[in-house]
Amino acid sequence: MKLSGRIVVEPLDEERLTNIERRVVSGAVDAAARHGLRAPRRISGRVLAMAAVVTAGLAGWALHAPPPPTVAEPAAIRVETSPQQAVLDIGDARIASDPGAGFAVTRPAGGVLVAMTRGKVELEVGKRVGRPPLVVRAGDTDVIVVGTRFTVDYGDGRGDVDVRVTEGVVRVVHQQQETRVAAGYAWRTHGGLIASAEDDPGARAGSAVASEAGPTATPPDADPTRAAPGETVPTRAAIVIAGGPAPAVLHDRKAAVPEAHAASSGVRTGPSRPAAPDAAPVRGARPSDPRGELRDAIRSQPVEPALDLGEANAASAVTRYYDIAAHQSGEAASQAFYSIAVVRHLRLGRNAEALQTLDAYVRRFPGGKEYRAALWLRVRILCLDKLDDRCRAAAYTFVHQAGDAPAARIAERITLSD
């Protein structure tokens, strides 16, 4: 009985096909609109309209308004410290720098960006409730601050970064991974989060130095945000404030401080984490919030990074990962597949899609090199969203599949959580 190819398909005539096509396209577009998928376009239209109105307003203002004041907010302030320790008060933060430290301060989008080139600085930042955060950028590490006191040591500007928090909490974003560092804790490029017990006396000394320096170390007229570009402010610490273009370090990456709810490296922390709770003093809230503590522990656990293809654009990176996954097999395909999930979660904030990819990964690469990392990423996504049964089930699976992994203890705590 050979029947393949023996059933002659009656073709649909073009008119019928055209009618079907018309109805299908119409239905599909409606479905997309119902899902709110066209919202970005509507928003784009509104944004364009608003931009047109604003442009027209600015044009009118430029034609009729008096010339702007000559003293303008500088675009960038370069700071070079002398052999003496220096303190820079920028109004909403005080920056105490060690000898030889180099950094630049800008105020993009209402936030504050301190881009370090080398050395060690200590910052005391007032609470930034409702305002974009202050970000200290040291190489590929971002320290995001919403109100705290801490030090950042970037050494010679080429090596490790050491962050020590003395008050409040900061978020450290390094290679797309975010870690919350609370008071009494420190974070290092190699070593991650460490407890205060491991804190060395040097950090405390640095803190003391900053306290001794105090606001008096800053000359009364040395507010750099009000200084004219190019003006040199005579200070005891010989702080040189120069206008003009920011140092190259600011151009290495997107030199914009993100909104308070998002990390500067493009990592989305998700809508479930509003800015205000971050601004609240976390130290006091922790003992009564075991879930928050658990979430912090989950966040502090490193995520196996995505395959580095040198793609700055996340969507392009995903496309290239797909290409690898389709073209290659074995370890390369496994790594590319896992990378799709990492980028979707950490850079695009598409957690639902990241979970789908991870589910597919776990089915497709049960012996894959990234299998454990994929299981942990599932736990991370599910449990940072909600500590529910699904999250606990994922954690249970992780404990049983990767019981000897460093994150297994956290997963175990999740399974026991209420």
Partner 1 sequence: MTSRAPSGQVTAALYVEDVLLVDRCLTGEPAATRELFRRHKHRVHASLFRVLGSNREMDDLLQDAFLQVFQSLRGWRAEASLSTWIDRVAMRCAYRYLSQRSRRIVAEVLDDDVVALSAMTPGHGERRQLARDGVARLYAVLDELSPAARLAFTLHELDGRPLAETAELVGSSVTATKLRVWRARKRIEAAAAADPVLSEFLDPSAGASADALRFDGEAP
Binding-site ranges for partner 1 (CB under 8 A): 1-7, 9-10, 12, 16-17, 19-21, 23-25, 27-29, 31-33, 35, 37-38, 40-41, 319, 322-323, 325-327, 337, 356-357, 360, 364
User: Can you list the alpha helix ranges (DSSP code H) found in 35-116?
Assistant: 39-64
Nearer Cβ to partner 1, position 297 or 324? Answer: 324
Question: CB-wise, 36 or 68, nearer to partner 1?
Answer: 36
Q: Which is nearer to partner 1, 272 or 356 (CB)?
A: 356
- Greatest alpha-carbon pair distance for the chain in Å reads 98
Q: What is the rounded CA–CA span in Å between residue 24 and residue 216?
A: 72
Distance CA 278, CA 344 (A): 24
Among residues 2 and 64, whose Cβ is nearest to partner 1? 2
For the bound state, the minimum distance from the C-beta of residue 263 to partner 1, rounded and expressed in Å, comes to: 25
CB of 44 to partner 1, least distance (A): 11
Phi-psi group of 410: left, alpha or beta (phi > 0 → left; psi -120 to 50 → alpha; rest → beta): alpha
Q: Which residue, 23 or 254, is less far from partner 1 as judged by CB?
A: 23
How many H helices and E strands in the chain? 13, 14
Q: Which residues make beta-bridge pairs with 115?
A: 104, 137
Least separation, in Å, of the C-beta of 41 and partner 1?
7
Nearer to partner 1, 150 or 337 (CB): 337
- Minimum Å gap between C-beta 396 and partner 1 is 24
Q: Name the residue nearer to partner 1 (CB basis): 25 or 72.
A: 25
The label of the residue with tokens 């009656």 reads 10
Nearest-approach distance from CB 3 to partner 1, in angstroms: 5
CA dihedral sign, ordered 154, 159, 165, 166? negative
Distance of closest approach, residue 348 Cβ to partner 1, in angstroms = 12
**Closest-CA residue to 228 (of 68, 404, 370):** 68
The b-or-e profile of 301-318 (16+ CB within 10 A means b, else e) is bbbbebbeeebeebeebb
327 DSSP assignment: H
Using alpha carbons, list the distances in angstroms from residue 174 to 114, 122, 239, 327: 16, 19, 29, 30
Separation between Cα atoms, residue 183 and residue 165, nearest integer Å: 5
CB of 19 to partner 1, least distance (A): 8
How far is it, in rounded angstroms, from Cα 217 to Cα 236? Answer: 7
- What's the min distance (Å) between Cβ of 409 and partner 1? 32
Nearer to partner 1, 42 or 251 (CB): 42
